[in-house]
């Protein structure tokens, strides 16, 4: 079964063709970094307008790359949410138009669950059950995954997600956008122990994430040491300390979820899962504890439509069809 996936939840316009939920025939992503860099973050209205300009050429490129035509597509899948409403509407409207015209079934895909299923587009997918840590731009969630359509939320961020914290701290340090990439590069030159930063915890909710306090701690360090903004070495130390705190928070909660559920497999996915320091610490922890770790390749961590097509395949196989009057959603 060939599924055409469409992803427009934030600032990447993406389309992909995936066969039987496993084999990626094509994956095309048009980024918008250059548009949003001058603002230090994604501007929803600008993102939506660029999606409108890019979506049809991107879909055609995905079809060409896969060597198929629209008539050969068996089903469609589009990100329904969570994400930026204006951006999601563009992708969903095109998907609905294609589904209606081609008389093909359409699946509305949960963006975060699609990130998890990116692990099944690799040569060595995980077996069920497993714990999934989804660390995308606007979400930091923990799931217990029993099947392709059976996922229980164990914990989530109470305030800022990890990706949001990276972007806000990068903006504070005048590093530019995208924040995660900028901080990771700078942190390689720094010592995480120079500026002490907290490891936020909520004792009564051990699987809940919170990064707002960490961001505030970075603000206090800059106020206390204003020279940081003019000193590249000091900036590197602060970036390293911030990154180390985020990584420790993510890894410790993921392993706590493994212990509490008795699972022995961990999938870590989403844009922040491309962070090199996070991947290093996860691999070290997995080696020390014997847990099985699954990290999608970098191109499947960031937003893409192959994961949307894969998730849509399993929904369509289960008989789930999205009504053409269904709406997108911003949170979930």
- Residue-wise pLDDT for 72-84, tens only, equals 999 999 999 999 9
Say yes or no to pLDDT of 332 above 90. Answer: no
- Joined tokens for residue 210: 């919170």
Instruction: Please report, to the nearest 10 degrees, the dihedral formed by the alpha carbons of residues 151, 156, 160, 165 taken in order.
Output: -70
> Is there a contact between 250 and 278 (Cβ–Cβ < 8 Å)?
yes
Of 281, 189, 272, the closest CA to residue 244 belongs to 281
Of 96, 88, 136, the closest CA to residue 113 belongs to 136
pLDDT tens per residue across span 185-198: 999 999 999 998 99
pLDDT tens per residue across span 180-234: 999 999 999 999 999 989 988 888 899 999 999 999 999 999 999 999 999 999 9
Say yes or no to pLDDT of 21 above 90. Answer: yes
Of 263, 235, 89, 120, the closest CA to residue 175 belongs to 235
Buried/exposed code over 135-162 (b: 16+ C-beta within 10 A; e: otherwise): bbbbbbbbbbbeebeebeebbbbbebbb
Helix (H) or strand (E) holding 296: none
Give the mean model confidence (pLDDT) for residues 146-161.
95
Residue entry with tokens 């409108």: 52
| Choice between 34 and 139, residue whose per-residue pLDDT is larger | 139
Report how far residue 169's alpha carbon sits from residue 34's, in angstroms, rounded to the nearest whole number. 19
Tally of CB atoms within 10 A around 320: 14
Give the mean model confidence (pLDDT) for residues 252-259.
97
Indicate the fold that domain 2-117+302-317 takes in CATH: Nucleotidyltransferase; domain 5 (3.30.420)
Lowest mean pLDDT among 18-32, 71-85, 193-207, 312-326: 193-207
Region 124-295: CATH code: 3.30.420.40
Percent of the chain beyond pLDDT 90?
A: 90
How confident is the model at residue 30, as a pLDDT?
Answer: 96
Instruction: Please report, to the nearest 10 degrees, the dihedral formed by the alpha carbons of residues 199, 201, 206, 209 taken in order.
Output: -80
Report how far residue 221's alpha carbon sits from residue 238's, in angstroms, rounded to the nearest whole number. 8
∠292-114-79 over CA atoms, to 5°? Answer: 170
Query: Which residues belong to CATH 3.30.420.40 in the chain?
Result: 2-117+302-317, 124-295
How confident is the model at residue 201, as a pLDDT?
Answer: 85
Give the mean model confidence (pLDDT) for residues 148-169.
94
Report how far residue 239's alpha carbon sits from residue 261's, in angstroms, rounded to the nearest whole number. 33
Say yes or no to pLDDT of 39 above 90. Answer: no
> Is there a contact between 182 and 170 (Cβ–Cβ < 8 Å)?
yes
As a whole number, the mean pLDDT across the chain is 95
Residues 6+ apart with CB under 8 A from 259: none
């Amino acid at each position: 079964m060939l599924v055409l996936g469409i992803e427009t939840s934030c600032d990447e316009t993406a389309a992909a063709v995936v066969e039987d939920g496993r084999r990626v025939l094509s994956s095309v992503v048009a980024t918008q970094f250059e548009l949003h860099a001058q603002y230090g973050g994604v501007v929803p209205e600008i993102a939506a307008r660029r999606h409108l300009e890019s979506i049809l050429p991107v879909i055609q490129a995905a079809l060409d790359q896969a060597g198929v035509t629209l008539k050969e597509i068996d089903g469609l899948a589009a990100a329904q949410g969570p994400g930026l409403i204006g951006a999601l509407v563009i992708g969903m409207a095109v998907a609905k138009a294609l589904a209606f015209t081609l008389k093909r079934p359409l699946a509305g895909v949960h963006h975060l669950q699609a990130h998890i299923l990116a692990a099944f587009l690799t040569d060595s997918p995980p077996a069920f059950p497993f714990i999934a840590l989804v660390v995308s731009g606007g979400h930091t969630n923990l799931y217990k995954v029993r099947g392709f359509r059976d996922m229980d939320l164990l914990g989530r961020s109470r305030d800022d997600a990890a990706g949001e914290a990276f972007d806000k701290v990068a903006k504070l340090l005048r590093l530019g956008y995208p924040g995660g990439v900028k901080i990771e590069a700078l942190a390689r030159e720094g010592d995480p122990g120079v500026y002490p930063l907290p490891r936020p915890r909520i004792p009564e909710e051990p699987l809940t994430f919170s990064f707002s306090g960490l961001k505030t701690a970075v603000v206090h360090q800059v106020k206390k040491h204003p020279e940081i903004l003019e000193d590249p070495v000091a900036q590197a130390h602060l970036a390293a300390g911030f990154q180390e705190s985020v990584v420790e928070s993510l890894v410790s909660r993921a392993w706590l979820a493994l212990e509490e559920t008795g699972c022995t497999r961990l999938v870590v996915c989403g844009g922040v899962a491309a962070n090199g320091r996070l991947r290093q610490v996860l691999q070290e922890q997995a080696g020390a504890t014997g847990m099985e770790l699954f990290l999608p390749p970098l191109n499947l961590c960031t937003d893409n439509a192959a994961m949307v097509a894969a998730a849509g395949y399993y929904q369509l196989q289960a008989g789930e069809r999205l009504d053409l009057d269904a709406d997108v959603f911003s949170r979930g």
